[in-house]
């Protein structure tokens, strides 16, 4: 799942009307992938494969359900090696929150929920806040970008 608060100028490129600043966009599964430039999906065929024409409101690619199928990490790594943009992989029950195209927080509804930055060099674990920790969100402007 991805939750993104993005500026109206970014959304205006894809919508005939500009969205008000502070609009929250959210999605799970394919609804997570769509905000990125690309992603891994089985929405169009029975097999997993790349989606290369996401909206591009968030940079890179996305792979939800990272832990739900043994071959999903393999397919994601293969597609990144073939030119899919590097991106974020989220286990089921894990959500990433972005503000102005910057990752600010990853949370999980599960104790064992994981997230990774995936690039041609492999999987790089990202910090995930488990459900039992209720820490305040980062202040606006304190957002960080995914490590490259």
**In the prediction, which pLDDT does 76 show?**
97
CA-to-CA separations, 57 to 29, 99, 109, in angstroms, rounded: 16, 11, 25
Among 7, 8, 18, 29, which one carries the catalytic annotation?
A: 29
What average pLDDT does the structure give for the chain? 81
DSSP letters for 42-92 = -SSSSS-EEE-----SEEEEEE-STTTSTTHHHHHHHHHHTTPPPEEEE-T
What is the DSSP code (8-state) at residue 126?
Answer: -
Task: Give mean pLDDT, residues 106-133.
Answer: 93
Q: Above 60 in pLDDT, residue 146?
A: no
Among 4, 61, 62, 65, which one carries the catalytic annotation?
A: 65
Task: Give mean pLDDT, residues 90-106.
Answer: 92
The yes-or-no answer on residue 29 being catalytic is yes
pLDDT digits (tens, 9 = 90+) for 25-41: 777 888 889 999 999 99
pTM of structure: 0.77
Contacts of 13 (CB under 8 A, 6+ apart): none
The yes-or-no answer on residue 65 being catalytic is yes
Q: Above 60 in pLDDT, residue 92?
A: yes
């Amino acid at each position: 799942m991805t939750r993104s608060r993005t500026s109206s100028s970014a959304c205006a490129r894809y919508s005939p009307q500009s969205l008000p600043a502070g609009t929250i966009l959210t999605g799970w599964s394919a609804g997570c992938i769509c905000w990125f430039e690309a992603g891994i999906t089985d929405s169009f065929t029975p097999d997993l494969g790349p989606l290369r024409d996401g909206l591009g409101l968030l940079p890179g690619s996305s792979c939800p359900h990272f832990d739900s199928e043994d071959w999903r990490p393999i397919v994601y790594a293969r597609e990144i090696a073939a030119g899919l943009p590097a991106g974020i992989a989220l286990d089921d029950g894990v959500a990433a929150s972005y503000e102005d195209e910057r990752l600010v927080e990853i949370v999980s509804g599960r104790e064992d929920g994981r997230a990774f930055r995936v690039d041609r060099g492999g999987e790089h674990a990202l910090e995930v806040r488990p459900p039992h920790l209720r820490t305040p969100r980062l202040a606006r402007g304190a957002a960080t970008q995914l490590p490259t």
